[in-house]
Amino acid sequence: TFIVNLSDEDLQRFLKTSIAVEMDSEDGLEEANRRMPQIKDHIVTLLPTKTSKEILSAEGKNVLRTQLMEGLNGLLSTGRITALYFTDFVIQ
């Protein structure tokens, strides 16, 4: 679960989200577990660059999903993330 400030200018808004991923191999899963600090850092660095308006719609969530998958796959060498799911997504 991640809780971050969003970059809205009018109000201070927060995003609370949980993310689950599917990997293409057991080796990729092992590598992802070893690189978890880098993965979490990428997520908490990307999320606060978004505004609530950008990620409130289904299209915005899909763009964010794609950006996260591309960034996280760039960190991995032995496996690939094949799907990323938001299992919790609350903006306040």
- What's the full length of the chain, in residues? 92
List, for residues 22-72, the tens digit of each pLDDT value: 999 999 999 999 999 999 999 999 999 999 999 999 999 999 999 999 999
Kindly give the interhelix angle for 36-46 and 58-75, rounded to the nearest 10 degrees. Answer: 140
Tokens of 28: 């990729």
pLDDT score of 47: 98
pLDDT score of 83: 97
Task: Specify the pTM.
Answer: 0.92
Residue in the block written with tokens 């997504």: 89
pLDDT score of 13: 96
Residue 77 pLDDT class (50, 70, 90 cuts): very high
